[in-house]
A and B are shown apart, each in its own frame.
Chain A
């Protein structure tokens, strides 16, 4: 691989130029999903697009694939404009996307069938691909008979049998357990390095930092809201990489650093997170952040932990860890900087309080730092009977977020509000009310 990179072939395979993607939200407002995305993929590269869920990284991959049309900007594949699924680009899906009614062999043959390859050649090529990916013996099995790892192997075989130039992968390992995923990753890297696949480049999307550092030559770190490239990291370690190798740990620290340092820079005044009413609140439960604070506050940690270590000990990937740290930051219970998280005084007080006291502290921070919670509370106070329909708040949030995200954010803030006893909520009627009308 190093050869390819250093020889520096001038024309890129994929070129993404000023790509924007908006989704229409009624007539008033567009929801910006991707903003000014630019990058190039050169011969022999593996690129990881790393970001939190909802950062638009999957949308970007689908734009590369020609499945989604960008609102602005262009994607060039070997100099040609991508205007639909291009021949030469293949894709592996998160949930495999196998046709459950076709056998392994028939699934692998599908792409060839569509291209009009005749029966005999189809069979021969499919069997070869199945053999290469280590699925021989399972040709006549139906997908539902296979384990997740084996299913994804079928996904790979199906993608590779059409002799693609570029392979796109949408979180290909996230539906698999850790051991299976490791096994599949190393097999994939073997194929890539021995150049059995004929691939000239891979782009994959992930929310797993280790996975990105393990496979990629280049990591594009993605911002959320709107999705854009925050920064880029080159990983120059030779393959195979080992996750206990200190140089590898070092790379991981660099990724965390890039991801957390800039959050701080955006927030500006060093005051921690300042958010507005339509902010996409993280999906974090009170119980989880309480647990995390208790760990931070425990004697062996002394109020400060290295984020990669924390992710490791709790076995959380960034999609699970970052919402928690984000809520801690929003509520000023902790501060994240340079890849470390440190507890604040309020956080310490919260961690050491009893149940009733904790609710009080949480209530105070919630009212102070979460504008949405404060807004709901104000509206309820103002209403003569201290009641309001959830739909009102939902439609407010829908001005800022997608329908699904708006519902999710409202559900989250309702959970926090209920815990803090800021307001009450009735599931059947969808009515929010003040618990003790004053």
Chain B
């Protein structure tokens, strides 16, 4: 469990305090968004798709759709991995690059990319005119954006924390940069990277469902997949189809976990330098099979040899002449200064044009209006966190204190967290329609749906980690009731609770874009909020307002992160860490 937590918070740990690079990165990213919005506005009008694909609600078609969806996930995962290897390594090895890459990615991570998706789709369609490749790429891109940032930041942190002695040993024994990357950096980061990938997957499922069927500028684009199946089922208000889809999704996630991740995690055990005695070693029947079956073992060995050969390829070996690796420091400093200057100039230009563009196209009134909408959504999220905490903290502590229960409950909570909650929205919408519930209040429930599990399994982990002797002391001093909670349990789980809350809130902002506007058959429900604003303007193809909405959401997320969550996280790290 601790690994999980470390991976999650890797991004926070390294950079606890904002600096001026954050500001620059924010401006940079906002500039790109505005640029893309402008771009999209230019091309929004005349684009056409190939043959519209008909989605069948026949349950027999579902396995095929599921396969397409899984394939998209895999491609996106692969792209994320390549992106991670390139950019995280670059940032870790070059301080100069790191100063730009890391803040930008950090900001990207906070952006509710879902709203941005439609702009991406339009861009990709124009790249591949007249074929489905455009929307396909856009969907893959959406999944990619839900995984890549987190993975990159995590990998960057682990590569940076490779012990100095290991780096020195690698240099002493003349490993080339290529050999060093695979033998040291990747190997050292493997356990954390895998956990990170697993966690990113849950966000990925959510996005794949949302991105397969999307309407841009009043046109519905559908890719064959589970997400589209659901969308069609919602349009035709087919409850059976929804049930089938949910079932399929459960099976798919289960298989993904069992066939891909469990074996990988069990295999990655060997990359850990120390094994904690009290943590049960992860097992996988598949790995077990591998070890026991001669043929599979033979194949495994062949793969290993092949990998070895690639790592040790002649071209990538170090040569004796390269042993001089000292370089001139003075020259380096000038270059750094020059690059920083160029970067700042670049950012100023973006800033100038962005402001000009916004000034000419967006009236101040709508900015104020969007800000108010942001406050509404923020309020919803605050309520959400409070409600979730009141429900799940006591339950989580109860579970965590009982190791047997925790062992069963923990995987279930993690599994539920990875289930895309937007699949369940139709069921709730049905209830809301049936009982005439106020949409403005009850969309909060929809947003909770997906994110509450993060809170639960973190609290369970935290409660399980409270040392036994502290509990015994509490018993001995007859601490009970509120006093026991206030003095022992709440401070004990605080770091874990904060981790869970940060993740939950991040997810909730994203969820607001799909949750604040929901429909069932011909019934369309829209709540007041920033998420609804974004998705409505996406629907009608009003890219300017869409960009404004997304920009505003970015600002909200970032400001809350810096002002509320980071200080809390620092407090958790320094004051309440149980060692």
- Binding-face segment, B167-175, B203-211, B519-527: B167-175
- Tell me which of A85, A87, A116 contacts B312 (CB under 8 A): A116
The answer, yes or no, to whether A431 is at the interface (CB within 8 Å) is no
Complex CA gap A91/B320 in Å reads: 18
- Tell me which of B179, B270, B271, B326 contacts A114 (CB under 8 A): B179
CB closest chain-A residue, reference B329: A69
Chain A 74-93: CB-based contact to B (< 8 A → 1; otherwise 0): 00000000011111011101
Q: Establish whether residues B187 and A99, one from each chain, have CB atoms under 8 Å apart when the complex forms.
A: yes
Q: Establish whether residues B324 and A114, one from each chain, have CB atoms under 8 Å apart when the complex forms.
A: no
Q: Establish whether residues B271 and A91, one from each chain, have CB atoms under 8 Å apart when the complex forms.
A: no
Q: Establish whether residues A84 and B326, one from each chain, have CB atoms under 8 Å apart when the complex forms.
A: yes
- Binding-face segment, A60-68, A185-193, A413-421: A60-68
Q: Establish whether residues A93 and B168, one from each chain, have CB atoms under 8 Å apart when the complex forms.
A: yes
The answer, yes or no, to whether B332 is at the interface (CB within 8 Å) is no
Complex CA gap A111/B170 in Å reads: 8
B311-356 with Cβ < 8 A to chain A: 312, 314, 317-318, 320, 322-326
Cβ of A62: which chain B residues have Cβ within 8 Å of it?
168
The answer, yes or no, to whether B278 is at the interface (CB within 8 Å) is no
Min CB distance A139 to B, Å, is 16
Known: A99-B183, A99-B187, A114-B179. A83 touches B325 (CB 8 A): yes
Known: A85-B171, A101-B187. A113 touches B179 (CB 8 A): yes
CB closest chain-B residue, reference A90: B172
Q: Establish whether residues B270 and A91, one from each chain, have CB atoms under 8 Å apart when the complex forms.
A: no
B115-165 with Cβ < 8 A to chain A: 163, 165
- Tell me which of B165, B274, B323 contacts A94 (CB under 8 A): B165
Q: Establish whether residues A93 and B173, one from each chain, have CB atoms under 8 Å apart when the complex forms.
A: no
Cβ of A94: which chain B residues have Cβ within 8 Å of it?
165
Q: Establish whether residues B312 and A144, one from each chain, have CB atoms under 8 Å apart when the complex forms.
A: no
CB closest chain-A residue, reference B575: A428
Known: A84-B324, A116-B314, A142-B270. A99 touches B173 (CB 8 A): no
Cβ of B273: which chain A residues have Cβ within 8 Å of it?
100, 143-144
Q: Establish whether residues A83 and B174, one from each chain, have CB atoms under 8 Å apart when the complex forms.
A: no
Q: Establish whether residues A93 and B271, one from each chain, have CB atoms under 8 Å apart when the complex forms.
A: no
- Tell me which of B172, B176, B274 contacts A85 (CB under 8 A): B172
Known: A93-B169, A99-B184, A116-B317. A144 touches B275 (CB 8 A): yes
CB closest chain-B residue, reference A116: B317
Complex CA gap A114/B322 in Å reads: 13
Min CB distance B273 to A, Å, is 4
Known: A67-B171, A97-B163, A144-B274. A83 touches B323 (CB 8 A): yes
Q: Establish whether residues A97 and B169, one from each chain, have CB atoms under 8 Å apart when the complex forms.
A: yes
The answer, yes or no, to whether B239 is at the interface (CB within 8 Å) is no
B276-331 with Cβ < 8 A to chain A: 312, 314, 317-318, 320, 322-326
Cβ of B16: which chain A residues have Cβ within 8 Å of it?
none
Min CB distance B432 to A, Å, is 47
Q: Establish whether residues B323 and A66, one from each chain, have CB atoms under 8 Å apart when the complex forms.
A: yes
Cβ of A85: which chain B residues have Cβ within 8 Å of it?
171-174, 323, 325
Cβ of B575: which chain A residues have Cβ within 8 Å of it?
428
CB closest chain-A residue, reference B168: A67
Min CB distance B330 to A, Å, is 12
Known: A83-B324, A85-B323, A101-B270. A114 touches B187 (CB 8 A): no
Q: Establish whether residues A84 and B275, one from each chain, have CB atoms under 8 Å apart when the complex forms.
A: no
The answer, yes or no, to whether A163 is at the interface (CB within 8 Å) is no
Cβ of B165: which chain A residues have Cβ within 8 Å of it?
93-97
Min CB distance B369 to A, Å, is 42
Cβ of A97: which chain B residues have Cβ within 8 Å of it?
163, 165-166, 168-169
B179-208 with Cβ < 8 A to chain A: 179, 183-184, 187, 190
Min CB distance A151 to B, Å, is 11
CB closest chain-A residue, reference B319: A116
The answer, yes or no, to whether A314 is at the interface (CB within 8 Å) is no
Complex CA gap A321/B225 in Å reads: 71
The answer, yes or no, to whether A179 is at the interface (CB within 8 Å) is no
Complex CA gap A97/B322 in Å reads: 23
Min CB distance B227 to A, Å, is 38
Q: Establish whether residues B174 and A115, one from each chain, have CB atoms under 8 Å apart when the complex forms.
A: yes
Shortest beta-carbon contacts, A-B, top 5:
A83-B324, A111-B173, A100-B273, A97-B165, A97-B169
14 A-B contacts, Cβ less than 8 Å apart?
A: A66-B323, A67-B172, A83-B323, A83-B326, A84-B322, A84-B326, A85-B171, A85-B172, A91-B172, A100-B272, A100-B274, A101-B187, A110-B175, A144-B272
18 new A-B contacts, CB < 8 A, other than A97-B166, A99-B187, A162-B173, are A67-B171, A67-B172, A83-B326, A84-B323, A84-B324, A85-B171, A87-B323, A89-B172, A93-B165, A96-B165, A99-B166, A99-B184, A101-B190, A111-B173, A111-B174, A114-B173, A114-B176, A158-B173
**Which residues of A pack against B, CB within 8 Å?**
62, 65-67, 69, 83-87, 89-91, 93-97, 99-101, 110-111, 113-116, 142-144, 158, 162, 428
